[in-house]
Amino acid sequence: MGRFAPLLPELILSIGGTVLMMVAAFTGRRGSGLVSWLAVALLLGATAALIGAPSHAGPVFDNFVSEDLFASFGKAIMFPAAAIAIIAAHGWFERNTEHSAEYAVLIVFSAVGMSVMVSATSLIALYVGLELQSLAAYVLASYRRMDERSAEAGLKYFVLGALASGILLYGISLLYGFTGTMSFNGLAAAFGRGPPSLGLLFGLVFVLAGLAFKASAVPFHMWTPDVYEGAPTPVTMFFGTAPKVAAVLLATRLCVEAMGPATDAWRQIVIFAALASIFLGAIAAFGQTNIKRLLAYSSINNVGFAMVGLAAAGPQGTSSVLFYMAVYVVMTVGAFLCVLWMRDEEGRPVETIASLSGLAQTRPAFAAAIAIFMFSLAGIPPLFGFWPKLMVFKAAVASGYVALAVAGIVGTVVGAYYYLKIVKVMYMDEPAEPYARLRQPVQGLLILLAALFVSPLGYLLIGPLGSLTDKAAGSLF
Amino acid sequence: MTGISSGVPLLSLLIIIPLLAGVLCLFVKAEGARWIALIGTMLDLALSIYLWVRFDPDGAQWQFVEKLPVVGGVNWALGIDGIALLLIVLTAFLMPICIGASWRSIEKRVSEYMAYFLLMEALIMGSFAAQDLFLFYIFFEGGLIPMYLIIGVWGGAERIKASYKFFLYTLFGSVLMLIAMLYMAGTANTTSIPELMAYNFPAAAQKWLWLAFFASFAVKMPMWPVHTWLPDAHVQAPTAGSVILAGVLLKLGGYGFIRFSLPMFPDGSLQFVPLVFVLSGIAVVYTSLVALVQKDMKKLIAYSSVAHMAFVTFGLFAMNRQGIEGAMLVMLGHGLVSGALFLCVGVVYDRLHTRDIDRYGGLSDNMPGYALLFMVFTMASVGLPGTSNFVGEFLSLVGTYRASSWAAIVATTGIILGAAYMLWLYWRICFGTQRNADAAAMQDLSVREWWLLAPIAAGVFWMGVYPESFMRPMRNDVGRLLTRLERVAPAGDSALTLGKGAVHMDHGATH
């Protein structure tokens, strides 16, 4: 039994998820409420199970996965984010026609996949986790199957995702072929034997390309705006948070643990992807009129900043990536929860930026919350979103990549424009038709908590969160 | 006596009072918000005067020090020297006046407006009091958000463009400074500003660090050619917004030079003295000429601000006592005078709703009180002896002359041009025949407006007649800065030298 103790969170989720699937199958639509809340309970239970020694016991199953603090940190962000995606969906879908229990079950399975992703220390585990996560995500994207955009989003995501998986798999096969091992440690030893051979380099590039797709880093970002726009908003929120964390953390572990000796080889790729993501995310967002599309570009932009920390490598860089993703998830969850509240009088969701016009006059508190998230995503002090940006640039400067830091920070100014645009629409334009007022105390509370987290009060968390990320990053070195 | 002993975190209070008042404003209706804002800013003024009285000019460099370390993050480290003290007093003095100026002219969304003003006061106070590098940056940058909203929501017709321009321009300047700060914190292994002021960075690095900080402060100041955001922001902002922008926010640039660029990178500063002098010289002449042809009153005063700020940069980079003290006094004097001039524009704008100079004329007939006070501030802006700006500009010119006589010659033309555009402005508005019936029918100053302008006039004369009150607190701090700069200060071409004598020359030539 002791062997399974480190896997407790995954076990809770997989067994619980299977049970919930059965419940869902037998209760049908009636059970959607029950299954949703049970799934939230499972995810929170799995988060609670992360506390304690077994969850960072180290390698398990012959070094197939490693249950270390790095993985636990990622899970501690992803599970609650997934739970919030379930809560947010509750009351968003039309209860009678669309919302059924499998939504929550799919998110739980996706969470299992992500959990394997962040703990994987073998290429097989990496691939299995990634596919488990992605398959659930493809279905979720087309969850509103009667809606054309949703179906299109699902299809697009699936086709492009399959292509990316193929690229990744090809990279894995190259790595295996040239080293004869699947484990990260074995790969590290192989890379350590001298300058990597051409085959290994190809493998490395293909694997990183596959992961860049999952993290929606430029130049593999094309699916992001369409899928984010088409998918139902709670699903978009989910895509923007947990799977993104999983992909970034997986890439971090792979780069640091498996390819650590070949840092110079992957660093240039990461630097390119980082800068390209920052600038494309910032510039392409300019003309957007749909808030979900805009947030999609914002997520591309933000992944770029996280990758600046990855490019810095070393414990400090890794720690800054973790810090960045933690704060990013809170900001994104908050922003999307606000988007979920954008409904017209009949309760239909609205997605245009223009509909936010004059919100500060009709709904001051709501507008203030969005403004806080926007300024925070833009990284303007005194909001907390400034600090993770500072951390990644600090890591880049400390490892001597001053030019990268300067280029990245110029990108924040370019990006600031479109976040400002939302604030401008809300505060400086004439009021548009007001939104319907919703009675959703749980969502309201979550928005409030997220807003407080990114407010200057968040700075009080720098100490505890910083030491946690330092320790988590330390488990990779 | 250093002021630490009291145990009360006075500087934290200085920041927290307006912050709390600002939050409170959001929850009340317009009239309540006005009074809360007035009381909040008055409390802050009282507190800053108390600080001024308690400040010991001969005591420790940093007084009222507070430190609350936050593990792994920014330290809540506050403390002020005489230079910061004076700017804090200036800010606290102008704030209630701004609130008063907005009392009736702001009609819509009053609670929000007052909240942003108070938030801004808190952030400005924080920037002057911060002793931690990143804490300073957070306060410094944070000020952009309320100002962006103030310009964008309550501004004039072109407010949106102006607010974007203001935000993005200043943000762009500042982010480069952030990278430099990261490098400094990494190299010196401290984020404490007092420690960094004594740290010697390698000369090669100083060049880049200086440029990065310059990018930020030059935009904030603003210096030619990155001043273009200022006229837009000033013209579009509501009156009180212009006052705070000209009176206080621009001073953050000068403060930055005194606090960071000069003491932290003396070698870098020396290297770029010619650059600063050339840019300031162009600013003085060019923006003064631009001011001459403006048709919009606010724009004219905005351009005059750029010209006056050039005296500050001249004085600071002369790197001698006269120059630096003069620069500080120009900052204080300009804070009062430009604030007052914007208020004067606001007074007539509230009545006629135009800033077009041609729409006014002969106001001394129907508005004698206004004409009198406007005259006082015009003369102060020109630099008439007995007013605040004379002392500052004179000292800063003396300092500049000691560093470079050519720079002083160019700078002095600014005084002449300044007299030209200011007097011409005054003539067109207050003297001459009354061309417009509606302008001729305007009422003289109300009691509220007297209460806004009279204290500034008093301050202007106080600073002009007895500047010692303002020079005393900063004298030792300027002295400390000078010892730091001693090694690098430019030699100057105007020092008296012993003549060699014609005979001696002839004698020498035969060899």
Quote the minimal CA–CA distance from A327 to chain B in Å: 15
B440 touching chain A per CB within 8 A: no
What integer is the mean pLDDT of A452-460?
87
Q: What is the pLDDT of residue B502?
A: 63
How far apart are the C-alpha atoms of A437 and A440, rounded to whole Å? 9
Q: What is the pLDDT of residue B71?
A: 57
What integer is the mean pLDDT of B271-295?
90
Kindly state whether residues B140 and B281 are assigned to the same domain.
Answer: no
Contact B171 A380 (CB under 8 A): yes
Kindly state whether residues B202 and B325 are assigned to the same domain.
Answer: no
Residue A80's pLDDT band, with cuts at 50, 70 and 90, is very high
DSSP B102: T
User: For residue B147, is pLDDT > 80?
Assistant: yes
Lowest-confidence region among A16-20, A296-300, B460-464, B491-495: B491-495
Helix (H, G, I), strand (E, B) or coil at A352: strand
B178 touching chain A per CB within 8 A: yes
Q: Which of A319, A391, A423, A471 to mutate to test the interface with B (most CBs of B within 10 A)?
A: A423
pLDDT tens digits, residue range B3-31?
444 578 888 888 999 999 999 988 888 88
What number of H helices and E strands is found in chain B?
26, 2
How far apart are the C-alpha atoms of B127 and B217, rounded to whole Å? 13
Q: What is the pLDDT of residue B440?
A: 78
A310: tokens are 């990855």
What integer is the mean pLDDT of B64-81?
80
What integer is the mean pLDDT of A149-157?
89
Q: Which of A380, A397, A406 lies closest to B145 in CB terms?
A: A380
* Residue of B19, B14, B20, B94 whose CA lies nearest to B54: B14
CA distances from A210 to A200, A213, A270, A317 (A): 15, 5, 13, 22
Using a CB-CB distance cutoff of 8 angstroms, which residues of chain A are in contact with residue B167?
416, 420
Q: What is the pLDDT of residue B334?
A: 92
Using a CB-CB distance cutoff of 8 angstroms, which residues of chain B are in contact with residue A405?
179, 182
Q: What is the pLDDT of residue B69?
A: 73
Range of the domain at A164: 6-474
B141 touching chain A per CB within 8 A: yes
Q: What is the pLDDT of residue B365?
A: 83
Contact B70 A397 (CB under 8 A): no
* Residue of A385, A235, A234, A360 whose CA lies nearest to A298: A385
Q: What is the pLDDT of residue B199?
A: 87
Kindly state whether residues B40 and B178 are assigned to the same domain.
Answer: yes
In a domain, A1, yes or no: no
- Chain B's closest residue to A462, CA to CA, is B73
In a domain, A133, yes or no: yes
- Rounded to the nearest 5 percent, the helix, strand and coil shares of chain B are 75, 5, 20
Percentage of chain B lying above the pLDDT 70 cut: 96
Q: How far apart are the first and last CA of chain B?
A: 65
* Residue of A194, A165, A364 whose CA lies nearest to A265: A194
Range of the domain at B424: 272-494
User: For residue B244, is pLDDT > 70?
Assistant: yes
> Is residue A24 packed enough to be buried (19+ CB in 10 Å), middle (13-18) or exposed (0-12)?
buried
Lowest-confidence region among A151-155, A306-310, B158-162, B209-213: B158-162
Ramachandran quadrant class, A91 (left: phi over 0; alpha: psi -120 to 50; beta: rest):
left
Residue-wise burial string across A394-403, b where 16 or more C-beta atoms lie within 10 A, e elsewhere: bbbbbbebbe
In a domain, B125, yes or no: yes
Q: What is the pLDDT of residue A261?
A: 87
B241: tokens are 């917004």
User: For residue B117, is pLDDT > 80?
Assistant: yes
Residue B1's pLDDT band, with cuts at 50, 70 and 90, is very low
Beta strands in B12-146 (DSSP E): 63-68, 76-80
Q: What is the pLDDT of residue A95?
A: 61
CA distances from B294 to A428, B301, B327, B499 (A): 28, 9, 27, 49
B179 touching chain A per CB within 8 A: yes
User: For residue B504, is pLDDT > 60?
Assistant: no
- Chain B's closest residue to A421, CA to CA, is B164
In a domain, B486, yes or no: yes
What integer is the mean pLDDT of B259-273?
89
* Residue of A472, A476, A475, A474 whose CA lies nearest to A73: A472
Q: Which of B144, B152, B179 lies closest to A427 in CB terms?
A: B152
Task: Please identify which residue in the block is written with the tokens 């951390």.
Answer: A391
In a domain, B19, yes or no: yes
Lowest-confidence region among A17-26, A219-228, B157-166: B157-166
Number of domains in chain B: 2
pLDDT tens digits, residue range B335-350?
999 999 999 988 888 8
What integer is the mean pLDDT of B224-237?
85
Q: Which of B182, B209, B226 to mutate to test the interface with A (most CBs of A within 10 A)?
A: B182
User: For residue A1, is pLDDT > 70?
Assistant: no
Q: What is the pLDDT of residue A245?
A: 94
In a domain, B161, yes or no: yes
Phi, psi angles (nearest 5°) of residue B294: -75, 145
Q: Which of B15, B120, B151, B171 to mutate to test the interface with A (most CBs of A within 10 A)?
A: B171
Kindly state whether residues B160 and B276 are assigned to the same domain.
Answer: no
DSSP B495: S
Quote the minimal CA–CA distance from B309 to chain A in Å: 26
In a domain, A320, yes or no: yes
Task: Using only the alpha carbons of chain A, give its radius of gyration.
Answer: 21
Bigger pLDDT: A107 vs B496: A107
- Angle formed by the axes of helices B159-188 and B133-142, nearest 10°: 180
What integer is the mean pLDDT of A240-250?
93
How far apart are the C-alpha atoms of A39 and A16, rounded to whole Å? 8
Q: What is the pLDDT of residue B505?
A: 53
Is the C-alpha dihedral spanning A315, A320, A323, A328 positive or negative?
A: negative
Best mean pLDDT range from B56-60, B340-344, B365-369: B340-344
Lowest-confidence region among A48-57, A408-417, B84-93, B137-146: A48-57
- Chain B's closest residue to A463, CA to CA, is B71
Kindly state whether residues B148 and B289 are assigned to the same domain.
Answer: no
User: For residue A469, is pLDDT > 50?
Assistant: yes
In a domain, A47, yes or no: yes
What number of H helices and E strands is found in chain A?
20, 2
Q: What is the pLDDT of residue B84?
A: 92
B123 touching chain A per CB within 8 A: yes
B424 touching chain A per CB within 8 A: no
Q: Which of B163, B194, B209 is the last residue of a domain?
A: B209
How far apart are the C-alpha atoms of B377 and B346, rounded to whole Å? 14
B133: tokens are 């590098």
User: For residue A333, is pLDDT > 90?
Assistant: yes
Using a CB-CB distance cutoff of 8 angstroms, which residues of chain B are in contact with residue A466?
71-73
- Averaged confidence pLDDT in chain A: 89
User: For residue A276, is pLDDT > 80?
Assistant: yes
Task: Please identify which residue in the block is written with the tokens 């606090």.
Answer: B259
Residue-wise burial string across B220-230, b where 16 or more C-beta atoms lie within 10 A, e elsewhere: bbbbbebbebb
Kindly state whether residues B277 and B183 are assigned to the same domain.
Answer: no
In a domain, B315, yes or no: yes
Q: Which of A398, A423, A459 lies closest to B74 in CB terms?
A: A459
Helix (H, G, I), strand (E, B) or coil at A67: strand
Residue B438's pLDDT band, with cuts at 50, 70 and 90, is confident
What integer is the mean pLDDT of B484-491?
78
Lowest-confidence region among A100-104, A203-207, A230-234, A257-261: A100-104
Task: Please identify which residue in the block is written with the tokens 């990178």.
Answer: B265
Percentage of chain B lying above the pLDDT 90 cut: 27
In a domain, B118, yes or no: yes
- Chain B's closest residue to A404, CA to CA, is B179
What integer is the mean pLDDT of A94-99?
62
Number of domains in chain A: 1
Q: What is the pLDDT of residue B50?
A: 92
Query: How many other CB atoms sit within 10 Å of the CB of residue A354?
Result: 12
Q: What is the pLDDT of residue A194?
A: 82
In a domain, B226, yes or no: no
Lowest-confidence region among A244-248, A448-452, B230-234, B453-457: B230-234
In a domain, B68, yes or no: yes
Q: What is the pLDDT of residue A53?
A: 66
* Residue of A280, A282, A225 whose CA lies nearest to A415: A282
Kindly state whether residues B185 and B311 are assigned to the same domain.
Answer: no
Using a CB-CB distance cutoff of 8 angstroms, which residues of chain A are in contact with residue B168?
413, 416-417, 420
